[in-house]
Amino acid sequence: MILLKNREDLNRLRKANLIVAETLNELKKNITPGISTAQLDSIAENFIKKKGGIPAFKGYRGYPAALCIAVNEEVVHGIPGPRKLKNGDIVSLDIGVLLDGYYGDAAITVSVSEISHEAEKLIRATEKSLYAGIEKALVGNRLSDVSMAIQNHVEANGFSVVRDFVGHGIGRNLHEDPQIPNFYSPSAYNPRLKEGMVFALEPMVNQGDYRIKILGDGWTAVTNDGKLSAHFEHSIAITGKGPWILSSA
């Protein structure tokens, strides 16, 4: 069941998501060769708390940190630790915040200093695929219009869409109905979009094959072929005036 949100709900969702956006900006400023992923996690956690929020991922199904950080061939859900970032890495940062009973969720992929042309192309195509999906998040469209717009953009650029993770509704829960595949799935629930639906759209895009595996820590998803992966996510509301990007800065 898709829970519809009213104005008051949306205003609160915006507040949670604004902290998410600000946290991602804060992290971006601190991305530099030599910083460890654990240091970035504590920057995120302190920043969220300073803003009055609660890190939403910490403790979620036993996840141990505020930040999900995925470097290079890591796709999503990388756990912060002693690993230090180095020149040429690409780094996905995923943040969730709980504020006043409402969740915010967004992710970006950034580069550490100079990256390869191919890596840059992957990052830009992933970000643009998210915006291609957002553009289709219109009252009266079907959910598959969003999914297909994302997939088409990714594949037109020669990359592949991860199948094993999907976007989701968001509100008073981090994960609500519906599941939102970033690819056309004939078996997926495919409702018409209504005012008051709130979605976290989050394409995960691989440079090579779309298949992934989970490492022994039970969380970190990596590409099967060891090639790069990127991830962008926004939480958006469907409104009569078009999509409202709740997690923009």
Kindly list the residues in this chain that would bind Co ion in the complex (CB under 5 A).
105, 200, 202
**Three-state SS for 148?**
helix
Residue 91 binding result from Co ion, ligand MF3, none, given CB thresholds of 5 to 8 Å by partner type: none
The residue among 56 and 132 lying less far from Co ion, judged by its C-beta, is 56
Instruction: Identify the DSSP state of 114.
Output: S
Supply the minimum distance, in Å, between the C-beta of residue 20 and Co ion.
10
The residue among 12 and 77 lying less far from Co ion, judged by its C-beta, is 77
The answer to the question of residue 166 lying near ligand MF3 (CB under 6 A) is: no
**102 and 13 Cβ atoms separated by less than 8 Å:** yes
Residue 183 binding result from Co ion, ligand MF3, none, given CB thresholds of 5 to 8 Å by partner type: none
The residue nearest ligand MF3 at its CB is 63
E-only strand ranges, 154-239: 160-161, 167-169, 176-180, 198-201, 204-206, 212-214, 221-223, 229-231, 234-239
The residues in 92-121 that bind ligand MF3, with binding defined as CB under 6 A, are 94, 96, 105, 107
The answer to the question of residue 244 lying near ligand MF3 (CB under 6 A) is: no
Supply the minimum distance, in Å, between the C-beta of residue 231 and Co ion.
9
The answer to the question of residue 214 lying near ligand MF3 (CB under 6 A) is: no
Q: How many CB atoms within 10 Å of residue 82?
A: 8
Assign residue 193 a region (left: φ > 0; alpha: ψ between -120 and 50; beta: otherwise).
Answer: beta
Euclidean distance between CA atoms 182 and 217, whole angstroms: 26
Applying CB under 6 A, the residues found at the interface with ligand MF3 are: 57, 60-61, 63, 68, 77, 94, 96, 105, 107, 168, 200, 202, 233
